Amino acid sequence: MNVPLPMAETTTCDDVPVLKERGQHEVFCGLTGILWLHRKMQDAFFLIVGSRTCAHLMQSAAGVMIFAQPRFGTAVIEEKDLAGMADMNTELDRVVGRLLARRPELKTVFLVGSCPSEVIKLDLHRAAERLTGLHGPDVRFAHYSGSGIETTFTQGEDACLNSLVPALPEKTDDTPELLVVGTLADVVEQQLTRIFDAIGLGPVRLLPGKSSRALPPVGEGTRLLMAQPWVDDTIRSLQRRGAELIRATFPYGAEGTEAWIRAAARRWGIDDAVVDAAVEGPRARARKALARHRDALVGKRVFLFPDSQGELPMARFLSRELGMELVEVGTPHLDRAHMEAELELLGPDVRLSEGQDVDRQLDRCRAERPDLTVCGMGLANPLEAEGLRTKWSIELVFTPVQGFEQAGDLAELFNRPIDRQQRLRF
Ligand code: SF4
């Protein structure tokens, strides 16, 4: 049975007031996005042009994965480069030459800027052009910034995908095609594309896909669905190339996933009954999996710090599907056009904050003493030491959480700290 979402009965997103914070940030930089992007695009390499600090961040975040065949590395800017005593471009050419000699299968090399490369004003656009001249057409060079000055950790993915948009081929006719934008785990991708197949919606293309060279065409007839809430700039660039954005929630939880699929199906003119038949089984499994966690989470108070940009859809999932009470929902950046469907479901009473002023947010969190705080890793330990239960928001980015089959896993991520606390009490 189709359960219609009460979007029209709630509010318009412009009604929701927002506390704007413009203070100190406590988030990872955009380099972190490489950790999930390099697994997806299997013929690409991410060459960070950065310092030893950047290399250490990536190594500790990636852990043991770097001992396998790595698809990312760092061209280290030494002190003599920073002091202007050496030409970093020469060093970059040498590192790239060595990389391609060892890894001839690579098709795209992303030059990823960092804080140090910005400080010495290294022109990565020109470097990418020069290297394409040296190694193209077999290898293409793209560039984007993952610097902590310009990006927070999920914005790195947006910057990377946005750097690919100019390379997307022009669509040659206006037949409708769905382009899903944002990295999804393979298992999630397969499940969601199976449902689109079942309802007769297609062709479905993905950005990013497995190959950095087999890029989807874009133009009239391209209809976009955001798979991740942080691909704002990429969406705007695709719209400038003629694509149309389908207004939808994000595919978190049973409700969000169903609404996401249904929004696309309606744009295709597919009957609701066809969608009902395709989602009935997975939706029932998702609801059953959620029920196992709802009893433990219902009525619990949750405070979300602005960190991943996924906070609004997560908050909607926590309040509407698990019955949690939202104390405050922070987001690094609020793009109302892309969050419209989520804001409508959250309703006008939610306390929203945009941007960060970490000390003030910590004060509010401490005053509220929520049952669960979703925050960055740097804030979690001190809050745990003060007796608050926390969940690292980065876990919600690394774990496959979208779609019906993952809804239970997503709920479990929030339930785990609460459950651990209960067990420690006895
Ligand atoms: S890019 Fe900047 S913030 Fe990120 S690891 Fe390097 S120096 Fe640190």
Confidence band, pLDDT 50/70/90 cuts, at residue 14: low
- Ligand 1 centre to CA of 119 (Å) is 11
Go through 353-375 and write b for each residue having 16 or more CB atoms within 10 A of its CB, e for each that does not. Answer: bbbbbbeebbebbeeeebbbbbb
CA triple 232-233-236, angle to 5 deg: 90
110 DSSP 8-state letter: E
pLDDT at 351 over 90: yes
End-to-end Cα distance, the chain: 42
| Domain spans, the chain | 7-25+282-425, 30-151, 177-272
| Bridge partners (DSSP) listed for residue 225 | 180
- Ligand 1 centre to CA of 145 (Å) is 11
CA nearest neighbour of 356 among 332, 376, 334, 377: 332
- The average pLDDT across 216-239 equals 97
Any atom of ligand 1 within 6 Å of the Cβ of 253: no
pLDDT value of residue 422: 78
Token reading at 6: 């009460």
Ligand 1 site-directed mutation target among 26, 29, 120, most atoms within 8 Å of CB: 29
pLDDT at 139 over 80: yes
pLDDT in tens, 265-296: 999 999 999 999 999 999 999 999 999 999 99
pLDDT value of residue 1: 32
Any atom of ligand 1 within 6 Å of the Cβ of 25: no
- Ligand 1 centre to CA of 148 (Å) is 5
Any atom of ligand 1 within 6 Å of the Cβ of 228: no
Closest ligand 1 atom to the C-alpha of 148? 3
Rounded to whole angstroms, the Cα distance separating 195 from 392 reads 31
Q: Whose CA is nearest to atom 8 of ligand 1?
A: 54
Any atom of ligand 1 within 6 Å of the Cβ of 41: no
pLDDT at 10 over 80: no
- Ligand 1 centre to CA of 375 (Å) is 19
pLDDT at 313 over 90: yes
Closest ligand 1 atom to the C-alpha of 50? 6
Q: Whose CA is nearest to atom 5 of ligand 1?
A: 54
Per CATH, the homologous superfamily of domain 7-25+282-425 is Nitrogenase molybdenum iron protein domain (3.40.50.1980)
Token reading at 100: 């391609």
Any atom of ligand 1 within 6 Å of the Cβ of 31: yes
- Ligand 1 centre to CA of 115 (Å) is 5
pLDDT in tens, 143-182: 999 999 888 889 999 999 999 999 999 999 999 999 999 9
pLDDT > 70 fraction of the chain, expressed in percent and rounded: 92
pLDDT in tens, 22-69: 888 778 899 999 989 998 999 999 999 999 999 998 888 776 555 556
- Ligand 1 centre to CA of 160 (Å) is 16
DSSP codes, 168-211: SPBPSS---EEEEES---HHHHHHHHHHHHHTT---EEEES-S-
- Ligand 1 centre to CA of 116 (Å) is 8
- Averaged pLDDT of the chain: 91
pLDDT at 329 over 90: yes
Confidence band, pLDDT 50/70/90 cuts, at residue 316: very high
- Cβ–Cβ < 8 Å for 14, 8: no
Q: Whose CA is nearest to atom 7 of ligand 1?
A: 115
pLDDT value of residue 7: 36
pLDDT in tens, 119-130: 888 899 999 999
- Hey, CA dihedral for 248, 251, 253, 255, is it positive or negative? positive
Any atom of ligand 1 within 6 Å of the Cβ of 264: no
Q: Is the peptide bond before 313 cis (omega within 30 degrees of 0)?
A: no
pLDDT value of residue 152: 85
pLDDT at 190 over 50: yes
Q: Does residue 62 or residue 370 have the better pLDDT?
A: 370
- The average pLDDT across 70-76 equals 87
Confidence band, pLDDT 50/70/90 cuts, at residue 5: very low
- The average pLDDT across 1-13 equals 39
Any atom of ligand 1 within 6 Å of the Cβ of 53: yes
pLDDT value of residue 86: 61
- Ligand 1 centre to CA of 253 (Å) is 33
Any atom of ligand 1 within 6 Å of the Cβ of 76: no
Confidence band, pLDDT 50/70/90 cuts, at residue 11: very low
User: How deeply is 337 buried, as exposed, middle or buried, from its count of CB atoms within 10 A (0-12, 13-18, 19+)?
Assistant: exposed
Rounded to whole angstroms, the Cα distance separating 263 from 223 reads 11
- The average pLDDT across 395-411 equals 94
Any atom of ligand 1 within 6 Å of the Cβ of 290: no
Confidence band, pLDDT 50/70/90 cuts, at residue 2: very low
- Ligand 1 centre to CA of 118 (Å) is 11
Confidence band, pLDDT 50/70/90 cuts, at residue 9: very low
- Ligand 1 centre to CA of 58 (Å) is 10
| Bridge partners (DSSP) listed for residue 180 | 206, 225
- Ligand 1 centre to CA of 57 (Å) is 8
The alpha carbons of the chain give a radius of gyration, in whole angstroms, of 22
Confidence band, pLDDT 50/70/90 cuts, at residue 232: very high
pLDDT at 12 over 60: no
Confidence band, pLDDT 50/70/90 cuts, at residue 188: very high
pLDDT at 323 over 90: yes
The hierarchical CATH code for the domain 177-272 is 3.40.50.1980
CA nearest neighbour of 157 among 58, 330, 36: 36
| Bridge partners (DSSP) listed for residue 228 | none
- Ligand 1 centre to CA of 31 (Å) is 7
Closest ligand 1 atom to the C-alpha of 147? 1
Closest ligand 1 atom to the C-alpha of 146? 1
pLDDT at 81 over 80: no
Fold of 30-151: Rossmann fold (3.40.50)
3-class DSSP assignment, residue 109: strand
Closest ligand 1 atom to the C-alpha of 114? 1
Ligand 1 site-directed mutation target among 35, 48, 52, 115, most atoms within 8 Å of CB: 115
